[in-house]
Structure formats: C-alpha cells, structure tokens
Amino acid sequence: MEYPNLLPRFLKYVKINSRSDEHADRFPSTQREVDFQMVIKKDLEELGLSDIHYNEKAGVLIAEIPSNVDYDMPVMGFLAHCDTADFNSENIKPQITENYDGESKIQLGDSEFYLDPAVFPNMKKYKGQTIISASGDTLLDGDDKCGVSELVTFAEYLLAHPEIKHGRIRLGFTPDEEIGTGAGHFDVEDFGADFAYTVDGEAPGKLDWGTFSAAQFGLDIQGVNVHPAVAKGQMINAIQVGINFQNSLPQNEVPEQTEGREGFYHLMNFQGTVDNAHLDYIIRDFERDGLEARKNLVKSIVKKMNDEFGEERLKLKMWDQYYNMADELKKHMEVVDLARDAYKAEGLTINEDPVRGGTDGSQLTYMGLPCPNLFAGEENMHGRFEYTVLESMWKAVDVMVKMAELHAERSK
C-alpha cells in the first residue's frame, strides 16, 4: 500500500542531525537526539496519539495507539532509535531516483561517488522502484529514520482507519543505539508493552531474532622510552607490544574474513607512542561459550605477555555488551511467529539469517521485553553509500498493520 505522507516525513527527519557521541559524559549522549525526539513528539501530538511523554531518565519518547476492541490482550510495542551512526550527518541532502532501471549507476550528488549495482547487487532488485540516497559526503540516516518514519506513519494509518481492529500498541523512540548505551537505561515498566519489535533492519523479508553475543575490551600498554642510540635491552616500544598482541590473535578471525555464523576479533582503534599505547577491540560470537572462549584467549595472551615482562605492562579492561537474543527468544517463539505470519500474509520471503551485529532488542529481551527486529528498508548502513527504497518502507508499514490485525484476531 502507498502511504503518501511517509516520504515527506522521512525527508524531513533525515535532514535533522541526531548523531550520538560515544565520547560524551551525558545521557542521552547528545542534545540533538533529544531535540529530534521533540520534533517527533510534536508530530505524534498532531496525529492525536495517547499518553505521549518523554521519559527523561530513560531518554525515551513514548506514545500509545489506543485499543479499539472491547477485550484485553497482551500489549504490543514497536521501537525505533533516533540517533545517527558515526559518520558525517550534518547537512544531509537526500536525493530521489524514481523508477530506477535496475542497471545504472546513481551519482551521489555532485560527488565522485556512485551507487553501482556491480558493487551493490541488491540495487538490481529494485528495478522500477524509488531509491533514496544522499549526496556523497554524508550518510542518508535511514538507520534508523526509516524506522522512525514508519512508526509514525503506522500510527497515522491506524488512527485514520478504525475498521482495522487492534489492541493497545506502544511506540518508543530511543537514543544512543549506535553507541550501544541507550537500551541499558530503558524503562520496561513505563514502556508498558508485553512484547515488542525494533524496526531497524535491512531489506523486506529480513527478520532478526538471533544476534551475536558481544564483548568489548580496551588495552593500555606502558612502554619504556629511551634514546634509540642506547635502546638495546632498555627500550620497550609500546607500539610494537600492541602489534605483537594483535599478531597473537587468530589472524583469519576478523570481520573482513568472516561471514555467516563465524565470530571475530575486531581492532577498532590503535593509538600510541613508544611510551604508551591504547587499543580498542570488540569480540563477537553467536554462542555464549564461544564468546567466553574468545575472552579467555585475550586474557591468556595478556597474562603471557605480562609474565614475559615480569610485570604488568599490559592492562586489560573488558566487559560484556549484549548476548544473543535467540537464547531467550526461544522461550517466546509466539512473538517471532506473529512476525513470520505477517510477513507471509504480505507475500514476503522470510530471511531469518542471524544478524551479524546486535540491536537494542538484544538487551531488551534480557530485560524481560521479548524484542525481535523487523526490516525497515535500510541498505548500506553507516556510510556515504547508504540508501533506502520507498516501496520497502511502505511494505514495513504494511507488515506492522498486519501484525496489529493478526494479534487482535488471535487474542479474542
């Protein structure tokens, strides 16, 4: 179904910079996220939703689509995050390519960059459809303003069509998903849903209910800096120690050499001098035992190197980030089945390959809110080659409407 207000709503939202900041010492990490939430709040008020409020402690904007049936049922929720990934998100200029021919390159603004179907073969699936991209020097921010726009459009449609029967539906617009800190503040009780779905996935048909389990660690290395002319037996080059540590990890277990259910170690940051160095890593594995094994390998390498120095020159700080939500969702498969049935009803081929990442739903599921992830139509997220497809966004709204309808029918 076509939703005429979805595209202008999306174009309005992506032009608002709502990027989060992993280095901030506040929550939400940036005021611009809150400012964007207030734009959404105004739009929801104009549509006439109920119980619209901003939970300051949780950093979440919440609203309700009231029930229009005379019986009680479990409360369903939908969530989308408001922050932008760590790429230039200032002065986004979305461009629209209508009736895409499925073969041509799309130049990104006046830049030297193109969306090329030879590089991004998914583009070929969208022949005859409307592709929305950016100008080559920013991301588009479809992650997750696709989801935000779809949730608001979903609410607009249900309020305008009371013939579609549904129970209470809670909507949440969350902060700091991109930096992994937003869900930890979430107030499940205030949100008030029995189960929910994040709307933050890729192409139509994608249904995520399995994710990586994840950990992160930082490594501080203290070296000994002396003049290189007299360095023998005295200098400890912190940079070289960091290189040695990196080379002690399995060299083929990195993101660029893994796929499917294969985990990895990912060096994200390496800064240093001879005197001191700092390295940041993330660890990913689909199995909890696998995650623990990877963590233990890191610890054993650090211990071995410190033992060789005879003192603690490598200081490790490690923490878990989230766990594979499949382990918990297996106890709530009716939540997954509802999404599956709506996908099938809308003629979609379902792709349930576990996502090589995580969502807010990973943490929320373990907080007592079962929360798989639905597609939102996002493609090539987190960079200048990001795009989305208008028809994919329409289909995401179709699926949510069908889920609301099916849930009401099954709860009689």
Q: Which residues are catalytic?
A: 83, 177
Short-list 353, 352, 357, CA closest to 336: 352
On the 0-12 / 13-18 / 19+ scale of CB atoms within 10 A, 248 is middle
- The amino acid that residue 236 corresponds to is I
165's tokens: 């029967």
388 within 8 A of 351, measured Cβ to Cβ: no
Distances (CA, A) of 381 to 12, 19, 164, 173, 386: 19, 14, 33, 19, 5
Q: How many Cα neighbours within 13 Å face the side chain of 407?
A: 29
Give the number of C-alpha atoms closer than 13 A to the C-alpha of residue 17, restricted to the C-beta side: 12
- Token duo for residue 351: 């792709």
Rounded CA separation 215/283 (Å)? 5
Report yes or no: 370 and 78 within 8 Å, Cβ to Cβ: no
Q: What are the helix (H) ranges across 161-224?
A: 188-191
User: How many contiguous H segments (helices) and E segments (strands) does the chain have?
Assistant: 10, 17
